[in-house]
Chains A and B, each alone.
Chain A
Amino acid sequence: DADVTQTPRNRITKTGKRIMLECSQTKGHDRMYWYRQDPGLGLRLIYYSFDVKDINKGEISDGYSVSRQAQAKFSLSLESAIPNQTALYFCATSDTRDTTYNEQFFGPGTRLTVL
């Protein structure tokens, strides 16, 4: 089984709809991240959480919110989806005991299309 799972893997929605992307991990890591990837723009950090009670905004948090329900679960919500939120979304995890280069482990991604 995959260590970092994301659901759904693909989603098509309409402008104005609320949508939630979910991430679960079995790696036992305490740090979790949400990124979006766009052609020509690379990976950009949306939100990150270093433990259940810690939530931090990343580079592009406007229009998004997150919830850390448990150490193993981190959800990303789009309260009112808009077309420019069409992108590939990745969840990642890392271990706080790694105090060096902070290796991150990525899920398989969710392809979101907002019409």
Chain B
Amino acid sequence: QKEVEQDPGPLSVPEGAIVSLNCTYSNSAFQYFMWYRQYSRKGPELLMYTYSSGNKEDGRFTAQVDKSSKYISLFIRDSQPSDSATYLCAMSTMNSGYSTLTFGKGTMLLVSP
């Protein structure tokens, strides 16, 4: 079992829909949870991060972490065609004083007008 599991999609939704993207993980040492967004032919960029269990909201985006279930989610409200991208979850753990990131495979999201 990989440390981080993420459904690759693609996920196709109409404009205005609420989108739910999810990841599960197995390593309880993960402390920080991030979502990166990657547009076609571009490198990933950090979208949101959370530390503890609970919700964090930023505009149309909400990140949710449930450490007891080892499950994280990203919700996008009122989705727009410009949200079409691949969304990668990433998790951080401390290793001998340093931290590295473990990424999910990414979910491709397509928002149609």
- Of A40, A43, A48, A101, the residue contacting B34 (CB under 8 A) is A101
Contact B43 A101 (CB under 8 A): no
Complex CA–CA separation, A92 to B98 (angstroms): 16
- Please name all residues of chain B whose beta carbon is closer than 8 Å to the beta carbon of A99 when the two chains form the complex: 99
- Find residues 70-94 in chain A having any chain B CB closer than 8 Å to their own CB: 90, 92
Tell whether B70 is near chain A: CB-to-CB under 8 Å: no
How many A residues have CB within 8 A of the partner chain?
Answer: 22
Residue of A nearest to B4 (CB): A42
**In the complex, are the beta carbons of A41 and B105 less than 8 A apart?**
yes
Does A102 count as interface, using CB distance less than 8 angstroms? Answer: yes
| Min CB gap B30→A, angstroms | 11
A104 touching B105 in the complex, CB below 8 Å, given contacts A42-B88, A43-B88: no
Residues of A within 8 A of B8 (CB): 40
The CB with the most chain A CB atoms within 10 A, among B8, B46, B98, is that of B98
Neighbour of A42 across the interface among B42, B45, B103, CB < 8 A: B103
**Chain B neighbourhood of A58, CB < 8 A:** 100
Q: B75 on the interface (CB 8 Å rule)? A: no
B106 near A103: Cβ-Cβ < 8 Å: no
Query: Closest A-chain residue to B89, C-beta based?
Result: A42
Which residues on the B side are within 8 Å of A40 (C-beta)? Answer: 8, 105
In the bound assembly, the distance between CA atoms of A42 and B8 in angstroms comes to: 9
Contact of A108 among B34, B42, B99, B105 (CB under 8 A): B42
In the docked arrangement, what's the CA distance between A86 and B106, Å?
Answer: 19
Q: Give the A-binding residues of B (Cβ under 8 A).
A: 6, 8, 32, 34, 41-46, 49, 51, 88, 92, 98-101, 103-106
Q: List 11 A-B contacts (CB under 8 A).
A: A40-B105, A42-B104, A43-B103, A43-B106, A45-B100, A48-B100, A58-B100, A102-B99, A106-B44, A108-B41, A109-B42
What 7 A-B pairs are tightest by C-beta distance, nearest first? A106-B43, A42-B105, A101-B32, A43-B103, A102-B99, A101-B49, A102-B92
